[in-house]
């Protein structure tokens, strides 16, 4: 594992997708850090408006469509790192990734789809190595905590370790239309529960090995079902594990049964503010001991943007090795989590 610490050195960071809800949070955090980003996208007027709305009227705007590879490469040229903020990465994500690599820029994104992450690791690792850049996909309020906590908890136990993880909301509310579009694009995969890791590889089918979890602050267990959490793919890359599964409250799965394009279109663009959450990783050692890691945060959407900016700044420092890496492979796990404390994002690991 290589260590990359964020520094005060001003870097050039480009954002594709800055006009959306998460894009606004990315711009706000970059502005707070004194970084004036390059905004890349299809609509110059909307990008200028997004930059001005967060106090960045001088931000450079470069127009490039997802279908224009050469234009995207030109737009990302000169950037130290690129942040991709899109809905439905499984449909749209590769264009920005490929262009960032070909432009010689480090890359991160806020993808939450197992299928996209596997494609990135399988198809783009060698390309990133040849270009001398680092790509760390899947930086969200669930993926990043899941990967880093998986790394840390597994090292407190005798391996091989079994891991079950889940995101649980601690405030009721609605997600964004973009999140619903992501789920709709991979609806069958989400309904199926996706991959779990077992016997040295990714497996589909079956049910959750642990069908209930008692979440932080609860006195009774919650029934959970298998869910395609991306850290299922990333944790086995760096940790001694025999089994890794993602789960989610079973009640959520019932909401997927009737999801349609019409329903998604009717949803509000913006999520409910302040969707606080816990991301829980339960790890079970071969010797019978168990530990629980929890990352807690005040706002799922804002926190994902904060994590992505922290990742981009660290990548721009250039200390991570070239290739496609997990968060725990690219960054110091404890150092990264500690850096989120000023935003009210906390983490703990306790023996159970």
Hey, do 13-138+302-343 and 143-300 end up sharing a CATH topology, with the first three levels equal?
A: no
Mean pLDDT of the region 22-33: 96
| 290-318 average pLDDT score | 97
Q: How far apart are CA 156 and CA 159, in angstroms?
A: 9
Cα(329)–Cα(325) distance, integer angstroms: 6
For the beta carbon of residue 327, count every other beta carbon within 10 angstroms. 27
**What are the phi and psi torsion angles at 278 (to 5°)?**
-120, 135
Report CA torsion sign: 189, 230, 85, 257: positive
Instruction: List the domain boundaries for the chain.
Output: 13-138+302-343, 143-300
- So what's the pLDDT on residue 8? 53
Residue 80 CA from chain centroid, whole number? 20
Query: What is the secondary structure of 253-303 as a DSSP string?
Result: HHHHTT--HHHHHHS-SSPPTT--EEEEEEEE-TTS-EEEEEEEES-HHHH
pLDDT, one tens digit per residue, over 207-259 is: 999 999 999 999 999 999 999 999 999 999 999 999 999 999 987 767 666 77
Bridge partners, residue 38, by sequence: 14, 60
- Stretch 168-173: mean pLDDT, rounded? 80
Q: How far is CA 125 from CA 128, 132, 198, 272, 306, in A?
A: 5, 11, 23, 36, 25
- Residue 192: the pLDDT is 84
Find the mean pLDDT for residues 129-152: 98
Q: 13-138+302-343 maps to which CATH number?
A: 3.40.50.720
Fold for 143-300, please state it: Dihydrodipicolinate Reductase; domain 2 (3.30.360)
Of 351, 337, 303, 297, which is closest to residue 151 (Cα–Cα)? 337
Report whether 273 contacts 246 (CB < 8 A). no
């Amino acid at each position: 594992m290589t260590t990359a610490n964020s520094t005060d050195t001003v870097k050039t960071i480009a954002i594709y997708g800055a006009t959306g809800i998460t894009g606004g949070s990315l711009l706000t955090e970059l502005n707070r850090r004194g970084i004036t980003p390059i905004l890349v996208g299809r609509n110059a007027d909307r990008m200028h408006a997004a930059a001005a709305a967060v106090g960045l009227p001088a931000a450079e705007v470069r127009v490039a469509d997802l279908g224009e590879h050469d234009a995207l490469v030109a737009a990302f040229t000169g950037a130290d790192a690129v942040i991709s903020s899109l809905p439905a990465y499984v449909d749209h994500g590769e264009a920005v990734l490929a262009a960032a690599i070909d432009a010689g820029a480090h890359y991160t994104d806020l993808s939450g789809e197992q299928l996209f992450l596997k494609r990135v690791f399988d198809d783009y690792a060698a390309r990133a190595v040849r270009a001398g850049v680092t790509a760390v996909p899947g930086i969200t309020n669930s993926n990043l905590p899941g990967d880093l906590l998986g790394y840390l908890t597994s090292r407190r136990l005798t391996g091989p370790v079994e891991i079950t993880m889940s995101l649980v909301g601690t405030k009721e509310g609605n997600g964004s239309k973009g999140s619903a579009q992501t789920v709709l694009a991979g609806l069958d995969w989400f309904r199926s529960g996706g991959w779990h890791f077992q016997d040295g590889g990714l497996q589909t089918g079956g049910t959750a090995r642990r069908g209930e979890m008692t979440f932080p602050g609860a006195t009774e267990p919650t029934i959970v079902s298998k869910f395609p959490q991306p850290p299922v793919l990333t944790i086995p890359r760096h940790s001694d594990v025999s089994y890794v599964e993602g789960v989610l409250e079973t009640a959520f799965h019932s909401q997927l049964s009737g999801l349609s394009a019409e329903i998604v279109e009717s949803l509000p663009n913006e999520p409910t503010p302040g969707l606080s959450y816990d991301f829980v990783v339960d790890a079970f050692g071969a010797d019978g001991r168990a530990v629980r890691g929890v990352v807690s945060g005040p706002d799922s959407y804002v926190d994902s943007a904060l994590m992505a900016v922290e990742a981009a700044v660290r990548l721009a420092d250039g200390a991570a090795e070239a290739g496609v890496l997990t968060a725990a492979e690219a960054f110091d796990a404890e150092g990264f989590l500690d850096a989120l404390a000023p935003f009210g994002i906390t983490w703990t690991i306790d023996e159970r």
